[in-house]
Chains A and B, each alone.
Chain A
Amino acid sequence: MHISEGVLSGPVLAGGWALSAVGVGLGLKRLDYDRLMTVAILSAAFFVGSLIHVPIGPVSAHLILNGLLGAILGPAAFPAIAVALLLQAVLFQYGGLVVLGANVFDMAGPAVACAFAFGPLMRRAGKARAVGAFCCGFFAVLLAALLTACALALSGEGFMATAKAIVVAHVPIMLVEGAVTAMAVGFLAKVRPELLAQTPTR
């Protein structure tokens, strides 16, 4: 879902940069410096996650992990994803520097939104937590796909066709990410509950 350089129109690029700047700023402001290393480690997980290809039936998909970052980091997922995407753009030539703003917002916006939406559910115990975490992973990818389609639609590609193609292709990843997020959150809740304590609206 990395949008390539030169696809988006000027206003969309500028909008992406503006929204991402706000998100990163707010994320840094909310970032407790005791949790710096957690942010860095999850940023690394996001950075490497897109290299891990999961064979699902006939398709091979790669993880995105934006829902997981949202679930654990809350608003701090924004700077974490921004740095990871910057490094992917520079080192792997995924996406590009000019479209970085749009790509960051496409990935990090849904992560933080889902963290806020499913945070209360994830802080409960037992099944509710698992369901909340699954939804967080699932919808973060779905929203990211829709935002990507939106950005492309605003730059001329037809929305419905693009959105359908991207969303359909990502259905398996949504399920996998939901499961991964549910497992990770469940595990952390048992082993290191303080890691999850900082999900938003504490």
Chain B
Amino acid sequence: MKNRYLHRLKSVAASLALLAVLAAPALAHRVNVFAYVEGHDVVVECSYSRSERVRFGDVEVFDASTGAALLAGKTDEKGEFRFPVPPAVRAAKADLRIVLRAGEGHQNTTEVKAAEYLTAAPVAAPVTPAAPGATPATSAPPSPPAAPVAAAGPVAAASAPVQAVNQTGGQGAVAPALDAAALERVVEAAVEKKIAPLRAILVGEKEKGPGLTEIIGGLGWLVGLAGIAAYFAAKGKKPRP
């Protein structure tokens, strides 16, 4: 008798656990998909409203202008999907349209503009040939540090003090390591670190449910519509639709 009761209790617990696993996707109002560029990769973050992650949702990437399918994949446990921008796309400067299909009728899209990934890794092409050489000679023939600074433009110019400090330190060997490309990478990493919390705020903003404004606004609409209907109903029997 007691055994039977225990068995029943177990099956109830099991079905509750099953519910917990299955419930989240089907109960969501909508899914959010948020994409950003990190270095050479595009990172896609997928969540349901109220910050439940989309685990193993299908992500497809299209060329936004031609509609051609570029690649597809699944999100991981954290609702993230990361892919490098294909070289062909980079060359064509195509915008990316990212479609998330989370199942049970939940789908959303987002776009990554070409400008985003092009500016995120602006020296992608020159860096690769420079890296194997490991000497500043390949990128700029004259070895004095002043020349690459002038050539690399505002980013390198802004970091001139860094170089100066290093040189006053008396370490001549540091100078070649801090050429334009390396500096670019350092700056990028620093900016990435600074931006991360901002990005989290943006994602959180998207995941938030509707605010009080929308709710009250909706209720106002309903009252207004009922008022309009009542007005026409009271105006006489003739406009009865």
List residues of chain A with CB under 8 Å of any chain B CB: 1-8, 28, 33, 36-37, 39-40, 43-44, 47-48, 50-51, 53, 57-62, 83-84, 87-88, 91-95, 148, 151-152, 157, 162, 165-166, 168-172
The contact of A28 among B30, B226, B241, by CB within 8 Å, is B241
List residues of chain B with CB under 8 Å of any chain A CB: 16-20, 22-27, 29-31, 50, 101, 103-109, 209-210, 214-215, 217-219, 221-223, 225-226, 229-230, 233, 241
Using Cβ atoms and an 8 Å threshold, which residues of chain B touch A94? 29-30
Using Cβ atoms and an 8 Å threshold, which residues of chain B touch A60? 27, 50
The contact of A83 among B215, B225, B241, by CB within 8 Å, is B225
| Contact present for A40 and B105 (CB under 8 Å) | no
Given contacts A51-B210, A62-B27, A84-B222, contact A36 B229 (CB under 8 A): yes
| Contact present for A172 and B104 (CB under 8 Å) | no
| Contact present for B107 and A87 (CB under 8 Å) | no
- Chain B at the A interface: SS class: helix
- Chain A at the B interface: SS class: helix
Using Cβ atoms and an 8 Å threshold, which residues of chain B touch A2? 29-30, 105
- Report the minimal beta-carbon distance from A108 to chain B, rounded to whole angstroms: 16
| Contact present for B105 and A4 (CB under 8 Å) | yes
Residue ID in chain B nearest A151 by CB atoms: B105
The contact of B19 among A28, A40, A59, by CB within 8 Å, is A59
The contact of B22 among A3, A83, A168, by CB within 8 Å, is A168
| Contact present for A171 and B221 (CB under 8 Å) | no
- Report the minimal beta-carbon distance from B235 to chain A, rounded to whole angstroms: 11
Using Cβ atoms and an 8 Å threshold, which residues of chain A touch B241? 28
| Contact present for A4 and B106 (CB under 8 Å) | yes
Using Cβ atoms and an 8 Å threshold, which residues of chain B touch A47? 218-219, 222
Using Cβ atoms and an 8 Å threshold, which residues of chain B touch A170? 26-27
| Contact present for A4 and B222 (CB under 8 Å) | no
Using Cβ atoms and an 8 Å threshold, which residues of chain B touch A92? 29, 209-210, 214, 218
Q: Which of B29, B109, B223 has the most CB of A within 10 A?
A: B29
| Contact present for A91 and B217 (CB under 8 Å) | yes
| Contact present for A172 and B215 (CB under 8 Å) | no
Using Cβ atoms and an 8 Å threshold, which residues of chain A touch B221? 87
Q: Give A157 to B218 CA distance when docked, in angstroms.
A: 33
Residue ID in chain B nearest A43 by CB atoms: B222
| Contact present for B210 and A169 (CB under 8 Å) | no
- Report the minimal beta-carbon distance from A30 to chain B, rounded to whole angstroms: 12
| Contact present for B23 and A162 (CB under 8 Å) | no
| Contact present for B104 and A165 (CB under 8 Å) | yes
Q: Give A93 to B219 CA distance when docked, in angstroms.
A: 16
The contact of A57 among B16, B210, B226, by CB within 8 Å, is B16
| Contact present for B26 and A165 (CB under 8 Å) | yes
5 A-B pairs within 8 Å (CB atoms) are namely A2-B29, A33-B229, A57-B20, A152-B104, A169-B19
Residue ID in chain A nearest B229 by CB atoms: A36
Residue ID in chain B nearest A163 by CB atoms: B104
Using Cβ atoms and an 8 Å threshold, which residues of chain A touch B217? 91
Q: Give A23 to B105 CA distance when docked, in angstroms.
A: 23
Q: Give A74 to B105 CA distance when docked, in angstroms.
A: 28
| Contact present for B214 and A91 (CB under 8 Å) | yes
| Contact present for A5 and B219 (CB under 8 Å) | no
Using Cβ atoms and an 8 Å threshold, which residues of chain A touch B107? 4-7
| Contact present for B104 and A162 (CB under 8 Å) | yes
- A-B complex: 8 closest residue pairs judged by Cβ atoms: A40-B226, A169-B26, A3-B105, A58-B20, A33-B233, A59-B23, A4-B107, A169-B23
Q: Give A2 to B107 CA distance when docked, in angstroms.
A: 11
Using Cβ atoms and an 8 Å threshold, which residues of chain B touch A51? 209-210, 215
Q: Give A62 to B30 CA distance when docked, in angstroms.
A: 13
Using Cβ atoms and an 8 Å threshold, which residues of chain B touch A43? 222
